[in-house]
Structure 1
């Protein structure tokens, strides 16, 4: 186990020492000019014979060192207290789920959405070492849960997923892919993959272009088509019947758009699966994910740490006390 700083990004505060040095140099220059303006050098030397340049410089050094110790204190040095953290040899996987109204169609049982949620649940059970993230989309896309090793929380979000979460109509797969990339927190796509579950009903040219860009970053997108090519009516909860076309009044039929989902997967060296059998789909996706290199990471949320910020805090206080007690001048012998 090694020491680490919990908030390493606070190191930028140390650059303030450069400002202190500039101000210190300005004060020294001002002192020299002032001494020259007073009068004869011999007289001035006699007047300031108790002044100690060394102590003045040393006290400034103590203040700068105290400030740096304060920065290290804020950064919070810590060390894992044991093997509480779970070592995971896995990858980061973002599930991108379509929550448009068309996912309520029942051409697959119990419905497209419920079948998709069952698939995600079984997929997470089949890859316990992988960290997961969630992106929901319909007419807009957003990150529902950032990358995490907490599969329990992810499952709760999946259970609660419904079209009501994203009230904007549409199927913006391109925006969903952008959000999935953001959820990884960096452009480096090593050890990362996306699983897109959708009926792909709306053709999205942006998604096809973006998938080619994602491929250049090494990000694999596996797509899961849900529904049937023949299509089905979309239930309308407000009327208790089926959704109707506002223009014609005829029932709307939602069909699975396999072609777009297949192209997205092919562009990123992923695999397309038509979801009819959950076990078979999980096996196919897992086989594809197995091609991605694994990394070993620790789930720090489950670790206990020993903290050592107090060491820097104690040293900082002692230096500040020393600086205050240290006289500014030197003793002058009486003549």
Structure 2
């Protein structure tokens, strides 16, 4: 318990230095305080009483009372700190993820989709105060998870995203429009879409530029990420008879100009991820750019402990006064 006690006025402990000085003064002056009587002999006087030897106890009690008063002046107290956080500027985020067959390319380890899911999960865990939703798109798009503050739901849905749930293709406009649709009714002060693709827009009935204009209308910022190495990548080129993919080297085609235009139009930024490390750094950068404002309220509870010391000092002084005027009265 003592390690939890603090002193509000510790400077008063300097007064404790006076106590040994007072003790020395009493040691050298105590004989002068007792009246003396010179007689030729003490024969006939009883000298068996031990009370005169206990007379210094009165001074000890007084010093003890002073020590308690000084400690009380230093104001011993226990301090309990607590804090409460409140999000003052929440952010709603929708992650639009390309799940076309090209996302199984192995230029990222173990493949683009698996690498993305790992990094996206880390990003979600770093946003405890925001609502997040998921959109998956290939030849068409659908909402995997509406925006929610329950990160366990989002993370489980992210794990379930796989290739084959949608017709193959890359409908960037559809993916972006679906993400906008999830955010248009949001009351958050900041709305963000993270759109990732590894190809060019070759499917869907909504043009990417049209979807970008919708995002602007609803004040939704879009960060675009082009995923894939520069040059050629080991990618699916055919399907074997057993349903597995046959891999071969194919050129990486990413419409960087389109992704740059979408980001610029909506007030976001375009990033290029060529390996696992650069993909991680991109999500870290987005995490830094989109800060959630949080107010922290700190509460401090003080429990003063000086009262028992003062009561103890009063009791000691009263005891010293009673002893001085009763038991030791004949010796003072």
TM-score (norm 1): 0.54
Secondary structure class of the residue paired with 1:163: coil
**Deviation for aligned residue 1:162:** 0.9
The 2-side partners of 1:185 and 1:220 are apart by 12
Secondary structure class of the residue paired with 2:107: coil
**Deviation for aligned residue 1:252:** 5.1
Q: Are the equivalent residues in 1 in contact too, given 2:200–2:254 (CA < 8 A)? A: yes
Structure 1: runs of 5 or more not aligned: 1-85, 245-250, 297-335
Q: Which residue of 2 aligns with 1:283?
A: 284
Q: Are the equivalent residues in 1 in contact too, given 2:180–2:214 (CA < 8 A)? A: no
Structure 2 CA distance for partners of 1:151 and 1:237, relative to 1, 3 Å = farther
The 2-side partners of 1:187 and 1:125 are apart by 21
Q: Which residue of 2 aligns with 1:83?
A: none
The 1-side partners of 2:285 and 2:132 are apart by 18
The 1-side partners of 2:143 and 2:294 are apart by 24
Structure 2: runs of 5 or more not aligned: 1-84, 296-332
Q: Tell me the C-alpha RMSD between the 2 structures.
A: 2.8
Secondary structure class of the residue paired with 2:164: helix
Q: Which residue of 2 aligns with 1:216?
A: 217
Q: Are the equivalent residues in 2 in contact too, given 1:97–1:136 (CA < 8 A)? A: yes
Q: Which residue of 1 aligns with 2:103?
A: 103
Please list every run of at least 4 consecutive aligned residues from structure 1 whose deviation after the TM superposition is greater than 6 angstroms.
Answer: none
TM-score (norm 2): 0.55
Structure 2 CA distance for partners of 1:118 and 1:186, relative to 1, 3 Å = same
2:280 is the alignment partner of 1:271: no
Q: Which residue of 2 aligns with 1:71?
A: none
Q: Which residue of 2 aligns with 1:116?
A: 116
**Deviation for aligned residue 1:216:** 3.1
Q: Are the equivalent residues in 1 in contact too, given 2:199–2:252 (CA < 8 A)? A: no
The 1-side partners of 2:189 and 2:246 are apart by 44
**Deviation for aligned residue 1:243:** 5.9
The 1-side partners of 2:87 and 2:201 are apart by 38
Q: Which residue of 2 aligns with 1:238?
A: 240
Paired positions, count: 203
Q: Are the equivalent residues in 2 in contact too, given 1:91–1:295 (CA < 8 A)? A: no
After superposition, what is the alpha-carbon deviation per residue over 1:95-115, rounded to whole angstroms, capped at 9, x for unaligned? 000000010111222211111
Secondary structure class of the residue paired with 1:186: coil
**Deviation for aligned residue 1:233:** 3.6
Q: Are the equivalent residues in 2 in contact too, given 1:97–1:135 (CA < 8 A)? A: yes
